[in-house]
Structure 1
């Protein structure tokens, strides 16, 4: 990895979940969520980012979102299912990301709101084009993702160091 090459992180909120009579952690995706997860996978593949690592919450809906999205990738990154991502605050998400090995250049984190949206907002000290406007226009929808870049090691990831490069959400 070149020191001059920025790291990229994609913050990916799980797709639309169903509301059956199960615990929150065990909620599966709704039909629309399964469709949106596959479309999000195509959009993520279109970014051309060669992901080295995926950090995924252990909740059923995040695991299903990732399973459907990653099928659209030309290369499947190493995936780590991390219990600490479930119901995590932005600060807790940063703590997990700070533990990422420095040989991982590009990471996708599959998690939940409000943590994922909050993390995107606090990391993005800058934004390109209208990405921040699009991200903030209607909230961070289920199945949406934000693409950010930053310089330095994963240990140096903190509020304001990133640039929001892009935001995508499924159509409502």
Structure 2
């Protein structure tokens, strides 16, 4: 693959979590979260994006979200459970994505807010689109995802180099 070909990043917020008496990293998905994660997986499958690599937070709710979503995909990408995603700032997430090998074309990052939403805003250029409008109206609720494209190597990923090409959130 040439680095001249556009790359895609799917930024996927974990599904709705339950609030039992456990530490935050150990929070499991709520019943609605389990349903929404599968629906998000079907929507990702419908997008036709051939995911090469999944970077998933090590928190229980993100691992459960990914397990349910990936089951819906026609191809299971290599998955790396990455502790650095939990509570990461947008800058830390960009640094993590900068480490992606150049033979990887499409990455999905399964993480948390506010980092995932802020990263979407920071990476995308200011061009308004239907996807931007939907995201502005809905925010970045649990189980939502944004698809961004950019040109260049992963090491060149920085603020305002990507375009938001798709956004999806579950029905209220």
More displaced 10-residue stretch of structure 1: 119-128 or 49-58 = 119-128
Residue 118 of structure 2: aligned partner = 118
Aligned residue for 1:149, secondary structure, equals strand
Residue 55 of structure 1: aligned partner = 55
Partners of 2:38 and 2:127 lie apart in 1 by: 26
Shift of 1:118: 0.2
Shift of 1:138: 2.6
Question: CA-to-partner distance for each residue in 1:105-131, whole Å, 9 max, x for gaps?
Answer: 000000000000000001110557311
The answer (yes or no) to whether the contact 1:126–1:164 under 8 Å persists in 2 is: no
TM-score by length of 2: 0.98
Aligned residue for 2:17, secondary structure, equals coil
Residue correspondences, number: 172
- Structure 1, unpaired ranges of 5+: none
TM-score by length of 1: 0.98
Shift of 1:5: 1.6
Partners of 1:28 and 1:3 lie apart in 2 by: 38
Residue 88 of structure 1: aligned partner = 88
Question: CA-to-partner distance for each residue in 1:119-147, whole Å, 9 max, x for gaps?
Answer: 00011105573111111113100000000
Partners of 1:96 and 1:31 lie apart in 2 by: 31
The answer (yes or no) to whether the contact 2:5–2:152 under 8 Å persists in 1 is: no
Aligned residue for 2:35, secondary structure, equals helix
Which consecutive segments of 4 or more residues in structure 1 shift more than 4 A? none
CA RMSD of aligned residues (A): 1.0
Partners of 1:44 and 1:107 lie apart in 2 by: 12
More strand by share: 1
Partners of 2:58 and 2:136 lie apart in 1 by: 27
More displaced 10-residue stretch of structure 1: 126-135 or 32-41 = 126-135
Residue 5 of structure 1: aligned partner = 5
Residue 100 of structure 2: aligned partner = 100
What does 1:1-172 correspond to in 2, within 5 Å? 1-127=1-127, 129-172=129-172
- Structure 2, unpaired ranges of 5+: none
Partners of 1:127 and 1:42 lie apart in 2 by: 28
Aligned residue for 2:93, secondary structure, equals helix
